[in-house]
Amino acid sequence: MHYRPLGRTGIQVSRYCLGTMMFGKLANADHDACIGMVHKALDFGINFVDTADAYSQGDSEIIVGKALKGRRDAVVLATKAALPMGDGPNQRGMSRRWITQAVEGSLQRLQTDYIDLYQIHRMSPDTDVEETLSVLTDLMRAGKIRAFGASTVPASDIVEAQWTAERRGLARFRTEQPPYSILNRSIEREVLPTCQRYGMGVMAWSPLAKGMLTGKYRKGEPQPDSLRAKFFPQAMSDEASLSAVEQLVPVAEGAGISLMHMALAFVLSHPALTAAIIGPRTMEQLDGLLAGADVVLSDDILDRIDEIVPPGVDVAPLERAAYVPPSLAQRSLRRLAIVERSAA
């Protein structure tokens, strides 16, 4: 396993990060099986594990905590907060009130005294970023977290957070965790260059485009009976994505590798990338992912991929997952008030 610097934190992490969204009642409720996957990944050389409080409402963190007993100090442990953890209006978000409570919950479930990388799962437009940076800075100074970052943040918000930290004398976001794959390349336009400018580590989630790049989803063939097809039916049957896959398969075959391994190696070929997050649900899936750990793509293969999916282009939007600006997501921000419209 090869290791890369996590931005400018001084921390070295494996270029594969074990993602645990599939651990717990959402996908794999067998704790022992999931613990076995964590141990196999660690034995393989992976030292980077990513989870979140919202994954199976804390069950994933509980599994990870069990799995790391006796091995905690050898692992760079990352988790996230901000997504809903209850029905209450304040059981989510980026406020000092919630983050202070959420980190204690994660520490307890993970059975650890500290979190190496604490991430804001999604930014909240109704919370001043200074409020969030302030509480994260305090948690770092208290020794409860070692560094902090965010996930799926547009370039403009990354810049605002960096400037706010500098002006207010606060610690800053050290990492970003965006979606990135052959089929979803829009972050190459602004997000990745911005992260490079500020020396931020980048961990790509969904490097296999929700499984579309595993080779199991093919044009004109029945969809496999999978959780991905159940949760993301539109994304997994998107015609543009399936057409791109049909063009990518012969490129991988010509290189003597699987489409899945080519997709992972593609993500890791970008100089801004620190790690690709792999998210197995079963031991069989983990074995398949680990088999491609040493694959490196030639310039010729990368050029062929660019011809099929040009740099900076999203073939299809990530269904129900990627960042949507409030200006688009909130109807009230796209409409004038009724009174004003009537007056016009």
3-class secondary structure, 258:
coil
Catalytic-role residue among 16, 55, 180, 217? 55
> In sequence order, which residues have a C-beta less than 8 Å from that of residue 125 and are 6 or more positions away?
326
Contact criterion met (CB below 8 Å) for 76 and 13: yes
β 3-5/12-14 pair status = antiparallel
CA 42 to chain centre: 19
Separation CA 250–CA 33 (nearest Å):
35
Handedness of CA 298, 300, 304, 310 (dihedral sign): positive
Separation CA 15–CA 171 (nearest Å):
25
> In sequence order, which residues have a C-beta less than 8 Å from that of residue 330 and are 6 or more positions away?
none
First-to-last C-alpha distance (Å) of the chain: 64
Separation CA 28–CA 235 (nearest Å):
22
Q: How many Cα neighbours within 13 Å face the side chain of 59? A: 16
Nearest to 17 by CA among 281, 274, 318: 274
Residue 112: φ, ψ to 5°: -140, 160
Active site residue 217: no
Where are any strands of DSSP class E within the chain?
Answer: 3-5, 12-14, 16-19, 48-50, 76-81, 115-120, 145-151, 175-177, 201-204, 275-278
> In sequence order, which residues have a C-beta less than 8 Å from that of residue 339 and are 6 or more positions away?
none
Q: Which residues are catalytic?
A: 55
